[in-house]
Amino acid sequence: MSKQLRKEIYKNAYDLSESFQEKPSLEAGLDEEIAYTEALLSVLKEGIAACGNKKIQDLAERIRGLLDTDKIREIRSKDDEDAQFGHKTPTSTFYGYKNHLAMTEERLIAGISVTLIAKTNPAVAAAADKCPLKGQCKVGKGKTHSYSITQASEKNRSRLEFEASEKFQERLKIRHRIEEKNGELKEAHGLGRADSVGLFAMEVQMYFTAFAANIKRITKLIALAG
C-alpha cells in the first residue's frame, strides 16, 4: 500500500515526492515496513491534505486505518490463504511457512516437514488457560508477579534428561549445520520465495529443492572420496 501511495504521488502530486524517505530494502521485515510507512504518512500529512487528489487522500486514510489496528499482523496474501506472518526474533518478522529438517552426518537431508506458522499457537494458548495460577500472572508493569512452573510428563522427563546428557551437548555443537543447510536451500536454491500458493505447493517445492540439494551434496562427497 505504501508503494501504491508513492506511485500515485509520482503521477498526480509530484512535488510531494521530494519528501520521500529512503524506502526499506527488499529483505526488510514487516516491522521495518510499518515504521517506514508511519514515517511516510507523518511527513506527507499536510501535503496530502492540501493536494486535492481524492485517490491519494483515500489511500492514505486506508493505510492510517490499517496501522491504527492490530489487523496488519493478521493479514494474509489475497492469493495464498495458508501463508502467515511469523517471528524469527521478537523484533523481526517473516511471511510464509516453517520448514523443519533432519540431516545425516554427511549433511544429506533425511527428513522434511513443512508446517503453518501459527500451528503451535492454539496449543500454547490452551495450556495457558489451564494454568492454576493464571489469575495471579500479569504481563507488563504491575505489582503482581508472573510464575513459571514446569510439570514434565514421563515422556518429556526422559527428553529433558537426554538433553542434559554429555552426548546431547556434543551433538548440539553441530546444530548450526541445520541453519547452514536452510540458508543454502533459500539462497542457492530459491526456497526463500514460493513458486506457487498453498501449503501443499510449498511442501512439493520443499521436496524438490531438498532433492536437488542432496544430489549436489552427493556429487561433492563422491568427488572428495575421489
pLDDT in tens, 47-104: 999 998 999 999 999 888 888 776 666 555 556 777 777 776 666 667 788 888 999 9
Nearest residue to 5 (alpha-carbon basis) of 216, 158, 16: 16
Calculate the average pLDDT of the chain: 82
pLDDT tens digit sequence for 142-187: 555 566 666 777 778 888 888 899 999 988 888 889 889 999 998 8
Higher pLDDT, 135 or 186: 186
Nearest residue to 208 (alpha-carbon basis) of 190, 187, 183: 190
Buried b (16+ CB within 10 A) or exposed e, 29-57: bbebbbebbeebbeebeebbeebebeebe
User: Would you state the pLDDT for residue 217?
Assistant: 95
Query: What is the distance of C-alpha 175 from the center of its chain?
Result: 21
Residue 35 has pLDDT above 90, yes or no: no
Weakest-pLDDT range from 14-18, 34-38, 88-92, 119-123:
119-123
Q: Average pLDDT for residues 189-201, to the nearest whole number?
A: 86
User: Would you state the pLDDT for residue 129?
Assistant: 65
User: Would you state the pLDDT for residue 3?
Assistant: 86
pLDDT tens digit sequence for 39-48: 999 999 999 9
Task: Say how far apart CA 60 and CA 48 lie, in whole Å.
Answer: 8
Strands (DSSP E) contained in 43-96 are: 84-89, 92-96
Residue 207 has pLDDT above 90, yes or no: yes
pLDDT over 70 percentage in the chain: 77
Strand partners, 102: 111
Confidence of residue 215 (pLDDT cuts 50, 70, 90): very high
- The pTM of the full predicted model, rounded to 2 decimals, is 0.52
